[in-house]
Amino acid sequence: MKSHQKGIHHITALAGDPQQNADFYVKKLGMRLVKKSVNQDDPGTYHLFYGNAEATPGSGMTFFPWPMARQGKPGLGEAVKVALAVPSVSIEYWAERFGKEGIDFDGPYDRFGRQAIGFKDPDRMALELVFDDEAGDLPGYENSTVPTKHTIRGFYGTTLFLEQHKPTADVLKSLFGFTEAENEGNKWHYTTNADIGSSVIIEEGEPKPSANGTGIIHHVAFRAEDDDELKSLREKVLEMGLSPSQVIDRHWFHSVYFRSPGGVLFEIATDGPGYDVDEDPNKLGQKLILPPWLESKREMIEKRLPEITV
């Protein structure tokens, strides 16, 4: 039996205009809108989820769009970059596509042994496409605006910007199955055995002026196999002297949140039940999905949300 894959489950960030956000991730990057829901703590605003062909853990880039929010500025103690995995044969395709779409990019450059290009989304959140042979083995998304074979397969990883790498590295290693792979100057690279979402870079730096707002990554979630593992990881968080939340039912997964020693908000999220628990797997993202406890307020919620099309 294949052991459970460890790595990133999803990453959540703040965005501005929801239509602009959907246009970028669905139309320009060709990702799949796998869930159109609301912020469970602020149901008058959207929560949008973009994933891969099968909406698997390790592919969920999620956003809270707040049209009135001001532009954020990333700083110390945050995840500052999201890396998405595409097959290594796709490098020319993407460079040409970005040229046509008017998306500025840096690179290709080396990201710990893989070629990558760096760019920003409309809210100035930093992204990378990482060209990876193993990503090419995963199924592409057939209904994408990008030809199937070149589509994004999920996360490659993320970059955390911290004052010191070690305390957070200890959390990655003892809770989430990462091992230290390489170190170059002020950057440390940690990896797992997962097909996607298996790479975390910790970059050490000095404090700099920052502001919460659009384009800021809110939290990084790591995978737990099931509720039993979630509970045992929560115990380990306590043993490390950190302060985990109670288990929270997020409907598509069950979660525990805690602040990592370096300041980044981490979440532990179960692989199941999954994004298809309340929708036909072939029709994900097409209608507004509310968790059961908000269903009685659907009419009011729908009236407050701006319409978005993809």
State the residues that interact with Zn ion by CB under 5 A.
Answer: 12, 221, 267
Minimum gap (Å) between residue 26 Cβ and Zn ion: 20
Unique residue bearing structure tokens 């992204």: 127
Q: Which amino acid is at 7?
A: G
Give dist(CA 306, CA 301) in Å, integer: 10
* Nearest distance in Å: CB 112, Zn ion: 26
Q: Which residue has the tokens 């097409």?
A: 286
Decide whether 221 or 284 has the Cβ nearer to Zn ion.
221
Whose Cβ is closer to Zn ion: residue 39's or residue 115's? Answer: 39
| Between 64 and 156, CB nearer to Zn ion | 64
Write down the least CB distance from residue 269 to Zn ion, Å.
Answer: 6
> Which CB atom, from 12 or from 270, has the smaller least distance to Zn ion?
12
Side chain identity, residue 102: G
Contact at 8 Å (CB) between 131 and 91?
A: yes
Q: How far is the CB of 80 from Zn ion (least distance, A)?
A: 17
- Which phi and psi (to 5°) does residue 98 adopt? -65, -40
Of 188 and 252, which CB lies nearer to Zn ion in the complex structure? 252
The smaller minimum CB distance to Zn ion, of residues 178 and 222, is found at 222
Measured from the CB atom, the residue of 49 and 161 that comes closer to Zn ion is: 49
Minimum distance from residue 218 beta carbon to Zn ion (Å): 8
Class of residue 50 by CB neighbours under 10 A (exposed 0-12, middle 13-18, buried 19+):
buried
What backbone phi and psi angles, to 5 degrees, belong to 255? -135, 150
Distance of CA 256 to the CA centre of its chain: 16
| Eight-class DSSP state of 296 | G
158 CB contacts (<8 Å, ≥6 apart)?
8, 11, 79, 81, 82, 83, 199, 200, 201, 217, 220
Cα–Cα dist 46/51, whole Å: 16
The Cα 160–Cα 181 span in angstroms is 16
Q: How far is the CB of 290 from Zn ion (least distance, A)?
A: 17
Q: Which is nearer to Zn ion, 64 or 141 (CB)?
A: 64
Beta-bridged to residue 155, according to DSSP, are 84
- In sequence order, which ranges of the chain are alpha helices (DSSP H)? 18-22, 91-101, 166-176, 227-239, 298-304
Cβ neighbours of residue 147 closer than 8 Å, sequence gap 6 or more = 93
In angstroms, the CA 16 to CA 122 distance is 9
Min CB(37)–Zn ion separation in Å: 12
